[in-house]
Chains A and B, each alone.
Chain A
Amino acid sequence: MRGKSLKAAVATAAVALIAAGCTSTPEPETPSDTGGELRIYASEPASLFPPMADDNPSIVVIRQIYKGLVEYDTKGAPVNVIADSITSSDNKVWTIKLKSGFKFTNDEPVTADSFINAWNFTAYGPNAATNSYFLSNIGGYDALQSKDPDGDGPKTAPEPAAKTLSGLKKIDDTTFEVTLTKAFSGFPAQVGYSGYFPVAKACLDDVKACTEKPIGNGAYKIEGSWEHNVQVKLSRNDAYTASKGKADTLVFKIYDKQETGYADFKAGELDIFEAVPSAEVKAAMAQYGERFFQKPSNNFTYVGLPLYDARFQDKKIRQALSLAIDRQAIIDAVFDGRFSAAQGVVSPNFLGYRDGACANCKYDPVKAKSLLDEAGGWKGGKIVLWANAGAGHEKWMQAVGDGWKKDLGIDYELNTSLQFPEYLAKGDQKKFDGPFRLGWGPDYPWFETYLAPLYGTGGSSNNSGYTNPAFDQLVEQGNGAKTQDEGIKFYQQAEDVIVDDLPVIPMWFGKVSDVYSENVKTFVFNPISGVEYDKVVLNPAK
C-alpha cells in the first residue's frame, strides 16, 4: 500500500520542486513540508532525564524533547536558541541572558531557575547523575561531592558540604551568571551538550515520573510515556515558538540488535536507519543509491602508548611505530573502507581541522626503520598489544602488530582477555604493559575537547600518562582567547605538539552510514549532532 502511494508522492514532490525552481519568489512553507509520521531506528535509551543521560540513544531522543541554550550549525558553531546572549569579558565569568516565551509542556516558563536548579541537581554527588562531571569546571563543584569515609567501604557517606554550586548566580528571571574555576573560551559551545539542558521544577520533584514521561521544552513532546524496549513516540509541540518540527510525529522504534532493525528497515517498517551493519554496507550502497548517506563522524580511535613504560619514552620510537602502520590498508581490508584514516587528532568536522596535520600518521616504512635505528633499535622484546574482549578489535590490532613485525622487526603478542570494565580500570590505573586500544568522541564541538582530556597533565582520560608543560600552556592560551579564531590558532599549535610527540598513535575517525526510505523527502544531517529529525521532511502520504 505504502509503495503505490509513494510513487505518486515522489512524482508530486518532483513537480512541486520544479515549480518552486521556476518561481523566483521565496516560497512560504508549503503544507507538504510538514506532516506524516517519521519512523526512526533507535536503541533503548538509558534515561530520558537530561542529567542522567550520557549515551547516544538517550541524547538523540532528548534533543527532540528538550532544547538547550544553544544548538550547532553545520560547521559546529553554537547558535543561540533559548539563550539570548552568552557573554564574558575574561572567559571565566559568563553572563547568560535568556529569551522569554519558552515554556515547558506543563506551562512552566523556562527561566534562569530552570537552568540553575537542573545544574545543581546534576552536580550534587548523592544524586548520582551520570552527567555530573560535566559541571566540574563550575565554581564550587567539589563542595557538592562527598568523600567515602574509609576510602573503600559500604559505610554511609557523609553529606556533601554544600547543596548548590557557588559558581551559579541568579540575576533575575531571565539572567544568570556562571563563574568557572578556570577560563574556558568553549563554554558557549559546551552548554549545547544535553547534560546542560533546563529541567522543569516539577521534574526535580519527581525524577522518576519525569524520566518515564518527560516534561520538555523542545520541538516535540512525548505521547503517552516511554514504552521501554518498544518505542518512544513524540508529537509536535505546538507551544514551541522557535523552529517547529516538520514531521507530525516521530516514532523512535527500539531494537536490541542492529541487524534486526536493519531487517525491519528492509521490510519497510522504518524511514531512517542509522549505522548500517558493517556486513551490509556494500549491499546497501548498491541497493539504496542516493538514499545511502555516508559522512565522516567524530569518533576517534587511537592506540595509546604507555609513556610510564621506559620502552616507550623515546619520541623517535613512538614516531617509528606510527609510521609503520598502513592505516588505509587496514581500513580497506578489515572494515570495508568504512573509516577515514586519521590525519591528526581532531575530527575532520571541527572548526580548525587541517588535512595532513600529522606528518607521522602516513605510512612510511623506510622512514620508520631509520627512526628506529636512530633511536638505537628496539630493545624491549615482545610488544603486548591490548584490546578489550569481545568487541571485535582483534583483527585490526593484529594488523597493526603484523605491520610492526614486517617493517620494524618487532615481535608482538595480542592480549584481548579482559572484559570491558576491567580493561577500562586497568587503563585508569595506568597498568598496561604495552600499547592499548581506546576511543574518544566529543560531547560538544570545541577543538579543546580532543586535546585537554586526552593529553593534558592530569587530563580525565589521559591514559598514556603524557605530560608536557608547553602543550598545557598552549591549551590554556586557547581557552583564554578572546575570539574563537584566535583560540583555534593556539589549539592547532597544541595539536602540532601532540602529532610530533605522539603519546598516542592516531588511527582513524568513524564514518556515519545511514539509509533512509522512499518516504523521506529531505534528509537533514548535522555533522556535530547527527540526523536532525525535527527538520526531516516526509513525502505526503496518500
Chain B
Amino acid sequence: MGRYVIRRLLQFIPTVLGTLFLLHYLTSVGMQLTGNPVRALFGDKTPPKSTLDAITRALHLDDPCLKQPGNPCFNLFFQRIGVAKVNGHFDGYLQGNFGTDLHFRAVTEIVGDAMPFTLKITLIAFLVEAIVGILAGVLAGTRSGGFMDYFVKISTVLVISVPVFVLGLLIQEYVGVQFGNWLRGMSWVPEWISRGMFGAAYKRDYPFASLMLPGVVLGLLGLATTARLTRTSVQENLRADFVRTARAKGLTTKRVIGVHTLRNSLIPVVTNLGLSLAVYLTGAIVTEGIFNVPGIGNKIGRAIFQGESVVLIGITTMLVLAYLSITLLVDLLYAVLDPRIRYE
C-alpha cells in the first residue's frame, strides 16, 4: 500500500509538468495571436507607450517571444516553474510564487479568497448528489419495473438533457426571485430561509444557506449518472450468488440490501462520485457565475474572459493537483469497499 501511494505520487510529477507546459504553451500562443493583454486594460483609449511598457514590464509580459507566433517560450516556462532566473534570482512555482493578475494581485491570494466558497458549494453539491442519487438509485433498483423505477429513469433523463446554464437561470428566476419574493412577503418565514436559501445570488450574511441553490444546481450535474449507475449496479447485484446466499441464510431484507448488495454496488458509484468532484470544477464556472458565488469557478471564468493567462495557469495547476489527489483517494477507497483489490 505504502509503495503504491509513493508510486502514484511520483506519477504526479510528469503529469503536472506536462499539464503545466501545455497550459503555458496554449496561453503563450494565445497571447502571441491576440496581443498584449495589458493594452485591453485601457480599452478604447490609447495609453502612451511608456505607460504600456512600464506595466507590461512589471508584469513580466515583455519577453519578445510573446510576439512570435508559435514560439513555445521555453525560457518563460522555466522561469514560471522556478528553475530559470528572473532578474538574477529564481522566482516561480517552486519558490511559491504563482504570479499576479493584471492588477498585481497575487494568484495565491486570489485562490485563498475563492477556495472556501468553492469548497462549501462542492460539499453541498456532493452531498446532494451522493444522498439523493444513491437513494434514488437504490429505490429504482430494488423496485425494478415499478413506479419508482420509471420515475427515476424519466426524471434523470430530464435533468441530464437540460444544459446547466439553462437550469441555473431557470432556478434563479423562478425559485430564487419569484418564489423567493413570495416567501419574503410572508412575515412568519425566518430570514435565513426567505433571504438566505431562496435568493438570486450568494449572500455574505448567509454563507451556507445562500449556497444551497447553486449547490443543488451543481449537484444535479452528476445526480443523474449516480442514480442510473446505482440502479443498474443494484439490479445486477440483486441477482448475484452472494445475495441469494445471504437471503437463503435468512438475513433481513434491510441487511441484505443495506450491507451485502449496496457495498458491492457502490464500487462503480464511488468512482463516479470521485470524478464528479472534478466535474464540479468545470460546472462551477457556469454555476458560480450565474449565482455570483465568488469561488474558483467564477475566477476561472473571468480569467478566460479577460485573458488573464497567469491566473488561469496558476489556478489550473492547483486544480490539476487536487484532481490527481482525488483520483488517488478514489483508487485507495476501492480497497476498503472490495477486499479482493490489493495494491502490490
Contact = CB atoms under 8 A, between A and B. Distances in A.
A421 B103 contact: no
Contacts of A127: 54
Interface residues of A, number: 58
Given A52-B103, A257-B289, A421-B37, A439 B176 contact: no
Contacts of A428: 39, 46
Nearest to B291: A260
B219 interface: no
B232 interface: no
Contact of B103 (A46, A154, A438): A46
Contacts, number: 161
Nearest to B60: A154
Contact of B204 (A156, A227, A263, A266): A227
Interface in A439-459: 439-441, 453
Contact of A263 (B54, B58, B172): B172
Given A3-B185, A153-B64, A461-B46, A425 B298 contact: no
B114 A460 contact: no
A123 B58 CA distance: 15
Contacts of A190: none
Interface in B182-225: 184-185, 187, 191, 195, 199-201, 203-204
A449 to B, nearest CB: 11
A260 B200 contact: yes
B86 to A, nearest CB: 8
Most chain A Cβ neighbours within 10 Å, of B51, B58, B64 = B51
B316 interface: no
Contacts of B203: 269
Contacts of A153: 62-64
B326 interface: no
Contact of B54 (A128, A418, A460): A128
> Number of contact residues on B: which range applies?
35 or more
B201 A440 contact: no
B204 to A, nearest CB: 6
B113 A228 contact: yes
A263 B45 contact: no
A3 B173 contact: no
A156 B103 contact: no
Given A126-B54, A421-B34, A133 B47 contact: yes
Nearest to B56: A128
Contacts of A173: none
Interface in A1-37: 1-4
A526 interface: no
Given A229-B298, A256-B289, A269-B203, A438 B44 contact: yes
Interface in A243-295: 254-257, 260-261, 263-264, 266-269
Contact of A260 (B40, B55, B292): B292
Given A128-B57, A154-B62, A419-B35, A230 B204 contact: yes
A81 interface: no
A132 B35 contact: no
Contacts of A230: 204, 294
Nearest to B31: A421
A251 to B, nearest CB: 9
B36 interface: yes
B322 interface: no
B333 interface: no
Most chain B Cβ neighbours within 10 Å, of A46, A254, A264, A461 = A264
Given A267-B199, A269-B203, A132 B181 contact: no
A152 B64 contact: yes
A463 interface: yes
B252 interface: no
B33 A422 contact: yes
A461 B44 contact: yes
B302 interface: yes
A389 to B, nearest CB: 9
Contacts of A164: none
Contacts of B110: 228
Most chain A Cβ neighbours within 10 Å, of B37, B43, B54, B177 = B54
B36 A425 contact: yes
A420 B34 CA distance: 8
B292 A255 contact: yes
B201 A264 contact: yes
Nearest to B101: A46
Nearest to A1: B187
A205 B292 CA distance: 35
Contacts of A263: 172-173, 176-177, 200-201
A238 B54 CA distance: 39
A434 B172 CA distance: 43
Interface string B282-319: 00000001111010001101100001000000000000
B34 A419 contact: yes
A133 B34 contact: no
Contacts of B46: 424, 427-428, 460-461, 463
A133 B180 contact: no
Interface string B101-118: 001110000100110000
B261 to A, nearest CB: 44
Contacts of B200: 260, 263-264, 266-267, 269
Contact of B64 (A47, A154, A231): A154
Contacts of B114: 229
B201 A260 contact: yes
Given A54-B42, A256-B289, A460-B45, A130 B176 contact: no
A260 B290 contact: yes
A297 interface: no
A157 interface: yes
B48 interface: yes
A332 interface: no
A108 interface: no
A125 interface: yes
A136 interface: yes
A347 to B, nearest CB: 15
B39 A421 contact: yes
Contacts of B37: 421
A297 B104 CA distance: 31
B336 interface: no
B155 interface: no
Contact of B87 (A156, A266, A419, A438): A156
A148 B53 contact: yes
Contacts of A441: 44
B253 interface: no
Interface in B74-88: 87
9 contacts: A133-B51, A145-B54, A154-B60, A154-B63, A254-B294, A256-B289, A266-B181, A421-B37, A421-B40
Given A1-B187, A3-B184, A130-B51, 16 more contacts: A46-B103, A125-B51, A130-B41, A133-B47, A157-B57, A260-B201, A260-B292, A267-B180, A419-B34, A419-B307, A421-B34, A421-B39, A424-B40, A427-B46, A460-B45, A461-B46
